[in-house]
Amino acid sequence: MALHARRLSTGVHVYARYTATNAARSNTHNNSSSSSSSSNVHARALIAVRAQTSSSSTQHSSASSSSKQKQPSLQPSAAVAASAASSANGSQMPASQQKQQQVSDALQQTASAQVALLDVEGMNCGGCSAAVQRVLEGTPGVDSAAVNLVTGAAMLRVIPTSAQTADDVVAAAADAVCAKGFTARRRAAAENAVERATRLAEKDEERQKALKRAGVDLAVAWGLVGVCCAHHAGHLLHMAGFHSIAHAHNMAMFGSPWVGAALSGAALVGPGRAVLCDGYKSFVAGRPNMNSLVGLGASTSFGAGVAGLAVPSLGLPASAFLEEPVMLLAFILLGRALEERARLQAGGDLRAMAELLPRVAHLELDESSSVVDVDAGAIRTGEVVRVLPGERVPVDGTVLRGAASFDESHLTGEGRLISKAEGAVVSAGAIAWGAPVSVRASAAGAETQVASVARLVEEAQAKAAPVQRFADAAAGPFVWGVAAAAAATLAFWATAGASMFPAAVAAATGTGASFGTASALPPGALVGLRLAVDVLVCACPCALGLATPTATLVATSLAAKRGVLFRSGEALEALASCGVVVLDKTGTLTEGAPRVRSVFVAGGADGVADEAALLRLAAAAERDVRHPLATALVSAAEARGGRDGDGGFEYVYDSVTVPGCGAAATIDGRRVAIGRLDWALGEVGMGDDANGLGAVDGIPDGLTRVYICRSDDGMLGYVDLGDALKGDAVEAVRTLQEELGMQVYLCSGDSASAVNAAAAAAGIPAAYALSSQSPTDKLALVEQLKADGARVCVVGDGVNDAPALAASDCGMAVAEGVDAASEAAKVLLVGGGATRISDAVRLSRSALSRIRQNLGWAVGYNALGLPLAAGAALPTFGVALTPSAAGAMMAASSVCVVGNSLRLRGEFENWKVLPETTSAKIE
């Protein structure tokens, strides 16, 4: 609930900050815009109140919602009408003091909170990661924490106070973790791509060395197994007729208990030394882990064997007990080696992403082609670098000289070359082909887009999905519970079990059984001791700890390579549960690059005699606006002779933008507004302008019309702009509707003709195509759908989408859009087409399915394996595990969990990518 409230607060804060700035500027301009400013203030108050109430109601609906989504009961038009009516009524009344204070507190907390990452070493299982998380969350100043066992990363959300800074809190948290026997160090906040690549390479090298050491230990362990089991080969030799060899002195020597004791001791102090030392150290520190269970089981079995040798009168089967540590450690080390190899493979995508940027850049000293090679991390904004054919671009920037084709598949997932010449934007990590080019850096190091992508992916992998909470809750007390179960097993078979199941105990301890000859100890005690060791080594907290992070690691890394960035494991789970998707039009479903199709000039206004003059006036007001329509107007004006996008006007100031309405500025002393007719006329104080009457009629299908109005003149004219659907938009909508079973809405601030035409072309029913939607209308739609029981995903790319993105269950922002949308979204779409939306949904559902399978396997294995190890099948079937068999089962469970997560690679390794050149025209 707290996380959802913070996300909503972020979206509200973004939109409120945007409209508050515009309102303030409007008020300082003149009184004619006071009505618009007032409406913005009411809208902000309405959104704030709704955000606060939604944060509590959403939690309730999430808890009660089932996997099958309930479809909204109202017709879309009725739902929106009802919500719009309630919004209108609500906007006329101020919010209560209490709710305003709650929202203010939430915004203040969001603004002050900081996120830090720690690299933690020494975690071996789910019990370790749970212990680290408890320590972090118990540190004063830490609001929340998440720990990833696979990557060894811990994410902290800290709230500084007057008494301690955020750095103090992070340092205290790291010290607290170190005090528990782990190693923790803070990761640099401003780490550039080269530094990240170096850090990951060092970590990779450490893991490779650890894997080699594990290989040596594994070879030694299995060599000891071979020697230990050599005397058992006598049975095979007898069967083959080699009786003399079977009874040879050497074969008999291998069967000596003293040789078995030597082999068992060698296994414990040799390949098993690290496991035992870590296990007992963790046990003493009060945070027992899987190594503690293995170490306790192996040492107990070894101790029982040595006791049988030292005190023969006890009658303990020394040989049987002494063989177990050798076999047990061999299987454990085999599982560890396979698991570590799988972890390296799972993290391969992130390492590959960090290595996208070159370590050396060719810095141009002057225009005379004088070049010097420098560290790529030393490049600064504004400097010029030379990129040769076949090399990767070291910075984000624009082509200053030359032309080449670029492969940007590292961000978009599309393996096609894009030709770019002077003035074109290129991304760091892109490969240049054809000819050398000079690129002026606009962002370098940690500020590049690929560095931001890598940082987002690492942060996402450090944040646990909500489904992981079960594993975290179970992993902590798991080890203590297993130790108690082992003690209970020993006590039961030593007392009540022997009297309740005498035949089973006699069979297990009789002649020919694995326990050897009869003992001076009670038969039940022998059975209980052996089965207690089984319970200790069979239990597997590691599978619980690996269930979620391995699937999250593979899914987020795989998605990032194809332009889909999940901010956290929570985003994976939230998107997977959505049954309704609300799409914005411009830039999301369409190319986002509209063009001017026609211009109408009303005539009679001073200085606006033709189309070129009208476009120059519009471009001057739109010059600072980041919106596809604004870009189209500026480009059209420049094509007709506009200078630098300002139309050649001397004084242009007080520029404001109202999301969903338009933009305005004061140009040479007169107010100019561009956008919706009613808003534009109101902005310039000409609400009853006769020139605007009937201007809304006759808008061609598929086009968007913006009106240009000026104070004293009223409506000067209008411009019709057209956009095209993305080439894969039809495929994306079809996949969402038919294959994924989602209900698709198209919700846009554009005119009805433009929205209906786009919906028809994309295959969205007209009943679900909503036009002329303001930010509050979009928010109202999301709240209405959620109130009807639906789980909603919103996809948008502009600041007007921020409230709806934040209020939805999972917001997806097209990364080419403004930062406001990205701040409020859980998922970012970088480049590519509309199928990125359906790809993200499909991957999230597959990942969540793998997580649930992993958790089901981990829980099921322990639920079945522990009773079997405790002897549950002994009375009925005469079956009992040996410690070595129990250890093999435990190792196999961890490997199965990691392997199941890696299956995602095979399922999504070849995502279909449609070329953007197949853009469909909207008619």
> Which whole-number Å values give the CA distances from 571 to 3, 566, 588, in the listed order?
12, 6, 19
Instruction: Return the bridge partners of 410, or none.
Output: none
Distance (Å, whole) CA 316 – CA 314:
6
Give the type of residue at 830. V
Could you tell me whether strands 580-583 and 743-747 are parallel, antiparallel, or unpaired per DSSP bridges?
A: parallel
Q: Is the alpha carbon torsion for 639, 640, 641, 645 positive or negative?
A: negative
Backbone angles phi, psi at 59, to 5 degrees: -60, -40
Q: Among 522, 516, 456, 466, which residue's Cα sits nearest to residue 490?
A: 522
Spatial CB neighbours of 101, under 8 Å, sequence gap ≥ 6: none
Q: Among 745, 821, 849, which residue's Cα sits nearest to residue 790?
A: 745
> Which whole-number Å values give the CA distances from 858 to 489, 494, 533, 546, in the listed order?
22, 30, 20, 9
User: With contact defined as beta carbons under 8 Å apart, do 606 and 670 qualify?
Assistant: no
**Token pair for 124:** 């071996």
Q: Name the one residue in this structure whose structure tokens are 């029981």.
A: 789
Instruction: State the alpha helices, DSSP H only, in 166-232.
Output: 166-179, 193-228
Residue of 584, 646, 797, 809 marked catalytic: 584
**Half-sphere exposure at residue 168, Cβ-oriented, CA atoms within 13 angstroms:** 9
User: With contact defined as beta carbons under 8 Å apart, do 761 and 591 qualify?
Assistant: no
Backbone angles phi, psi at 792, to 5 degrees: -115, 135
Distance from the first to the final alpha carbon of the chain = 45
Instruction: Return the bridge partners of 398, or none.
Output: 425, 440
Instruction: Return the bridge partners of 119, or none.
Output: 153, 185
Instruction: Return the bridge partners of 419, or none.
Output: 405
Spatial CB neighbours of 503, under 8 Å, sequence gap ≥ 6: 875
Q: What is the DSSP string of 863-905?
A: HHHHHHHTTTTHHHH-----HHHHHHHHHHHHHHHHHHHHHHH
Give the type of residue at 106. A
Residue 668 annotated to the active site: no
Distance (Å, whole) CA 496 – CA 113:
57
Distance (Å, whole) CA 473 – CA 886:
24
Active site residues: 584
